[in-house]
Amino acid sequence: MAILVFSEESDGHASASALELTSKAASLGEVAVFHVGEGSADTFAELGAHGATSVHHMDPGDGLPAAPAAAAIADLVAGDAPAAVLFGMGNTDRDVAGRLSARLGKPVLAAAADLSIDPVRVTSEILGGTQQIITEATAESPALVIARPKAFDAADTGGPAPATIAVAAPDVGRSGSAVVLERHAEQHEGPDLGAANVVVSGGRGLGGADNWHLVEELAAELDAAVGASRAVVDAGWVPYSLQVGQTGKTVKPSVYIAAGISGAMQHMVGMKDAATIIAINKDPDAPIFGIADLGVVGDVHQVLPKLIEALRART
């Protein structure tokens, strides 16, 4: 095993980051995956198709997975040390990476946008994407790396079904005593935010939850996914699953429309790689205009209704 990739099940699939990282790792060497969740032949086959030759599978049941997963991975890498263990930025990914780091006494190389091995070097963007640094792991292998979402492309290369190895969740005592009592999935309509070709996002400039329908109506006309800034997620207008940015989703659509969003660096890291960015903001000095292909200095309450109206009139 040259590289171990962490995968958490979501909606009956391997996480998007696991598929991206498996594809990247397969270009560097032999890939094993550590998969947490219920698991299924289809999920494992999907990982195999992206280049994994083996999948170690742990089903944590209702236990919070991070502590037993970190212990199991520590056991696994103690035998045949891979050059690196790769994580995405999902919540469980980060939990496991942190715990594993403390367990192994090794640092975590965070926010990787690119990666090479021998020695392990990661390229990451810091200070809101204005500077790029290259960090080299100097401790003994494995290096622990957390990669940015969409840093690498997931590629189904038609690999065969991987060998699957069931791993029992180790008893980690007190650390493993947290349990999941309920799981709530929010219903959502329209295309998936992470994969959509067009994203319409709204910010605090919308003025209130009552005006959010403008964002939704525009998105519906463009067959777009709806996104949001953290300010409106925190205000409770929309669920966290719509948040775009450093602590939310990273999107790379063909077109990103930002309405009433100032353009804080933590928001921009999540959308600056969109092919075309359109921003509407009443403040001519809003930072979002610094990266927009088309910036409209104006009031969202004027521009959005007219835009929606005009799009409707076309069809």
Partner 1 sequence: MKIAVCVKQIPDPATPYELDAESHFVVRPQDQVLDDTDRYGVEVGLQLAEANEGTVTLFSMSPSGSLQGIRQALAMGADKAVLIDDDTLRGSAALTTARVLAAAIEREGFDLVIAGTESTDGSSGVVPQQIAEILDVPALSFARHVEAGDGKVTIERQTASGYDVVESPLPAVLAVTSGSVEPRYPTFKGIMGAKQKPIDTLTAGDLGFGSDDVGIGGAGQDITAVAPIASRQAGEIIDDDGEAHLRIIALLQETKVI
Ligand X SMILES: Cc1cc2nc3c(=O)[nH]c(=O)nc-3n(C[C@H](O)[C@H](O)[C@H](O)COP(=O)(O)OP(=O)(O)OC[C@H]3O[C@@H](n4cnc5c(N)ncnc54)[C@H](O)[C@@H]3O)c2cc1C
CB distance 52 to 32 below 8 Å? yes
Q: CA angle, 182 as apex, 176 and 185 as ends, to 5°?
A: 120
What is the maximum span of the chain, computed from C-alpha positions, in angstroms? 65
CB distance 100 to 74 below 8 Å? yes
CB 244 to partner 1: min, Å: 13
Residue 116 binds to partner 1 (criterion: CB under 8 A): no
Q: List CB contacts of 61: < 8 A, sequence separation 6 or more.
A: 169
Burial class (CB in 10 A: 0-12, 13-18, 19+), 155: middle
Residue 109 binds to partner 1 (criterion: CB under 8 A): yes
In the list 222, 225, 228, 251, the residue contacting partner 1 (rule: CB under 8 A) is 222
Distance, CA of 268 to CA of 305 (rounded, Å): 25
Interacting span for ligand X (CB under 6 A) from 12-20, 27-35, 159-167, 279-287 = 279-287
In the list 129, 170, 191, 207, the residue contacting partner 1 (rule: CB under 8 A) is 129
In the list 25, 112, 232, 274, the residue contacting ligand X (rule: CB under 6 A) is 232
CB distance 261 to 268 below 8 Å? no
Residue 272 binds to partner 1 (criterion: CB under 8 A): yes
Q: Which does 204 bind (CB under 5 to 8 A by kind): partner 1, ligand X, none?
A: ligand X
Footprint of partner 1 on residues 177-216 (CB under 8 A)? Answer: 177-186, 197-198
Residue 203 binds to ligand X (criterion: CB under 6 A): yes
In the list 115, 143, 261, 292, the residue contacting ligand X (rule: CB under 6 A) is 261
Interacting span for ligand X (CB under 6 A) from 39-47, 166-174, 282-290, 307-315 = 282-290
Q: Which is nearer to partner 1, 138 or 158 (CB)?
A: 138
Burial class (CB in 10 A: 0-12, 13-18, 19+), 66: buried
CB distance 20 to 150 below 8 Å? yes
Residue 229 binds to ligand X (criterion: CB under 6 A): yes
Tell me which residues touch ligand X (CB under 6 A): 203-205, 207, 229-232, 243-248, 260-262, 264, 266-267, 270, 280-283, 286, 299-301
